[in-house]
Structure 1
Amino acid sequence: MPTVSIIMATHNQADLIEKSVKSVLNQTFKDYELIVINDGSTDNTGMIFQEKVKSEKIRYYYQENKGTANARNKGLRLAAGQYVVFLDSDDLLYPDYLERQVETIRGTKSDLVACDFNLLYSDGTRKKVTINTTEEDQFYQAIIQNQSPPVATMMKKNVVTEAGFFDESLPSAEDYDLFLRIFARGAVLARTRETLCDYTIHPLGKSAHLENMIKDKTKIVNKLSRMLIEKPDLLRKEQLKALMDKNLISFHQCLALNIDTASAMPDAVHFMENQYSKRRGLASFLVKYLGYPRYNRLSFIKNSLSCKGYGKMRLDQELSWRKK
């Protein structure tokens, strides 16, 4: 069996995938497999694997379009390696990526390892990103930083499967959600202090994509707030509580106020944080601001507010009184 399984989910990126696959085939560390899940591409992706990038190390599968999370989960179930890497079809591995990452994860006996990486922009320019991590508070760091993309991270396969795979209900941010669940289980992250890959950045459009991203992140924060309620030991540090306050305000209130563009989010967060600091309370303010016809939009915020010091009974009483 191979030591590492590289899982590539792809959809209509035939113009980029050949270069990405060749970056895998050029690795100095040879004990790996590349599992490619073609998630319903309608371009010539299949032809590329038939004619241009043939290798016994490649296992190629086609499926109807079911989304990135589903394709990654399929690849994970097929993986035979002890370690896994999730590689997007527009990202690039440097030749010694596998060699150095395997060396680090084995040497540190950690659950996952992250390397430094370059942000690769559409104009070809690169910007280096350095991973900052300490042995303590890694769950906290995972929430606050969210800075290690899948391509820069190698994980033990069982760490991913035991955390519950990728959430297939999330069209975006599924990797962030997975990492939070992994660290909530006490996984240990080590760092390879070298730049070993390129993570490709694409411009975001001001359309439904941004709105869906906000909704997905809101769902993740909801899941995280429930996790923290169920596991109060994760809340033992005041800095984590403060961070959760900020994150909940950022995602929940931006969505509640129908803010669907990234440029508007900072202003909304600043506005809501100023209101939240006042004694009248966030729940009371939102009821007044949103108006009673839109009052039911607060229901998805209730669980999150309980993390902020509102007892559930107290919050229910306040909201019940405001409805009258």
Structure 2
Amino acid sequence: MNLKEDEPLVSVICTCHNQAAYVVAAMESVLQQEYPHVALFIIDNGSSDSSQEVIRGWVEKNEEKLNVRYLFHDTPINYCRAFNRALTQVSGTYVVDLAADDFLAPLHLSRAVHRLQETGAKIYFSNVLHLFPDGSTRPFYPVDASGKSNVPVTAGNVFPVVVRRYAISSAALVLDAAVLKAAGGYDENLAYEDFDLLVRMARDHAFVYGDYLGVTKRILAGSLSTRQYQARHSVLLPSTLRVCEKIAAMVRTSEERHALKFRILHETKHSLASANFKVAGQFLELYAHHFPRNWKFFLYKTWFLTKWDVSGAYQWWIKKQGL
């Protein structure tokens, strides 16, 4: 990339909670970016481990090499609220939400800015490498020997795709800061941010794709992403329901309606399988309000009424699949 001195600033917001073992790798990955105009804002969200000490020590060693600030919360607050507070304090043309247990490839930001600038798009995403506790890896999109995706990746209007399925990893997003701020940042009424962010951004903005493994995402036991279908008491599924209710007010085409129909039935099935019966019933109500009832609806309704608990077998299957 032919970078110039007037290249736009990228602000990276890194949020940490009890991730002392990983946060240095995350911060180092920002410092090692080949893109020259980067600012790092580190939040510690009320960690009870040594995260704050680790962050403070790293900043003291590297504050002359990188535009870096940090903010420590005494007690944990809602993740979306913590991010939004930081968002109001950062400048820059683009913003990245970096989890403290993830890290960026050295060329991630330079490639992202190049694609955003050449296309005029507002949101960039790349492929992501999942790193498991045993050291094994698996790319989000399967790749060939050269590291390029060997499956089609939808870009441009991605709204129907992200409504239907987990088609883009939010870990790879580089967003226009003004667009994100104008949208109000993350929805602080939700327990997690990525599904809602993707659909709100995709509703009105085209996404551009960079065919690189730009981010490494650790898949850790007990992490938020692994608790979506936690047996009997998922704290995430009610937020998924709320996002689906939002989508129902956004859809404009038959393709989008079909995508929402698929998503609601999908979430209903997994809510039932994980024995989250209350929210499963709410998904069924949402479906009945917007779509004609079909055989799947009646099957899931029967399952809901009988409260047939298969969550033990379901959790075994989830673990076996590595989901």
1:62 equivalenced with 2:72 (yes/no): yes
More helix by share: 1
Specify the SS of the correspondent of 1:78: coil
Give the structure 2 partner of residue 198 of structure 1. 216
2:175 to 155, 161, 167: 155
Give the structure 1 partner of residue 82 of structure 2. 71
Deviation of 1:118 after TM superposition, in Å, equals 0.7
Inter-partner Cα distance in structure 2 for 1:251 and 1:117 = 24
- Do the aligned partners of residues 305 and 209 (structure 1) sit closer, same or farther apart at CA in structure 2, a change above 3 Å counting? closer
- Give aligned-pair identity as a percent: 23
Q: Which moved more, 1:244-253 or 1:96-105?
A: 244-253
Deviation of 1:107 after TM superposition, in Å, equals 0.9
- Do the aligned partners of residues 77 and 102 (structure 1) sit closer, same or farther apart at CA in structure 2, a change above 3 Å counting? same
Deviation of 1:96 after TM superposition, in Å, equals 1.1
Inter-partner Cα distance in structure 2 for 1:209 and 1:41 = 27
CA contact (8 A) 1:222 1:304 kept: no
Deviation of 1:53 after TM superposition, in Å, equals 3.9
Specify the SS of the correspondent of 1:52: helix
Give the structure 1 partner of residue 196 of structure 2. 177
Equivalent pairs counted in the alignment come to 267
1:46 equivalenced with 2:52 (yes/no): yes
Specify the SS of the correspondent of 1:219: helix
1:250 equivalenced with 2:266 (yes/no): yes
Inter-partner Cα distance in structure 2 for 1:223 and 1:308 = 15
Give the structure 1 partner of residue 101 of structure 2. 90
Give the structure 1 partner of residue 122 of structure 2. 111
Deviation of 1:219 after TM superposition, in Å, equals 2.0
Computing the radius of gyration from Cα coordinates, the structure with the larger value is: 1
Inter-partner Cα distance in structure 1 for 2:180 and 2:233 = 27
Unpaired runs of 5+ residues, structure 1, are 229-233, 266-289, 311-324
- Do the aligned partners of residues 254 and 91 (structure 1) sit closer, same or farther apart at CA in structure 2, a change above 3 Å counting? closer
Deviation of 1:39 after TM superposition, in Å, equals 0.8
1:140 equivalenced with 2:150 (yes/no): no
- Do the aligned partners of residues 209 and 69 (structure 1) sit closer, same or farther apart at CA in structure 2, a change above 3 Å counting? farther
Specify the SS of the correspondent of 1:133: coil
Inter-partner Cα distance in structure 1 for 2:286 and 2:165 = 24
Inter-partner Cα distance in structure 1 for 2:231 and 2:42 = 28
- Do the aligned partners of residues 209 and 106 (structure 1) sit closer, same or farther apart at CA in structure 2, a change above 3 Å counting? farther
- Do the aligned partners of residues 218 and 25 (structure 1) sit closer, same or farther apart at CA in structure 2, a change above 3 Å counting? same
CA contact (8 A) 2:267 2:283 kept: no
Give the structure 1 partner of residue 257 of structure 2. 241
Specify the SS of the correspondent of 1:115: strand
CA contact (8 A) 2:164 2:262 kept: no
Deviation of 1:298 after TM superposition, in Å, equals 5.7
1:21 to 13, 27, 31: 27
Inter-partner Cα distance in structure 2 for 1:110 and 1:212 = 34
CA contact (8 A) 2:126 2:210 kept: yes
RMSD over aligned Cα atoms: 2.8
TM-score when normalising by structure 2: 0.74
Inter-partner Cα distance in structure 2 for 1:215 and 1:299 = 9
Give the structure 2 partner of residue 305 of structure 1. 288
Give the structure 1 partner of residue 318 of structure 2. none
Inter-partner Cα distance in structure 2 for 1:195 and 1:146 = 17
Matches within 5 A, 1:281-320: 301-309=284-292
Inter-partner Cα distance in structure 1 for 2:30 and 2:215 = 11
Specify the SS of the correspondent of 1:86: strand
CA contact (8 A) 1:214 1:260 kept: no
Give the structure 2 partner of residue 278 of structure 1. none
1:168 equivalenced with 2:188 (yes/no): yes
CA contact (8 A) 2:123 2:205 kept: yes
Specify the SS of the correspondent of 2:234: helix
CA contact (8 A) 2:44 2:72 kept: yes
Unpaired runs of 5+ residues, structure 2, are 1-5, 142-148, 294-323
Specify the SS of the correspondent of 1:21: helix
Deviation of 1:40 after TM superposition, in Å, equals 0.8
TM-score when normalising by structure 1: 0.74
Give the structure 2 partner of residue 4 of structure 1. 10
What letter is aligned with 1:182?
A: M
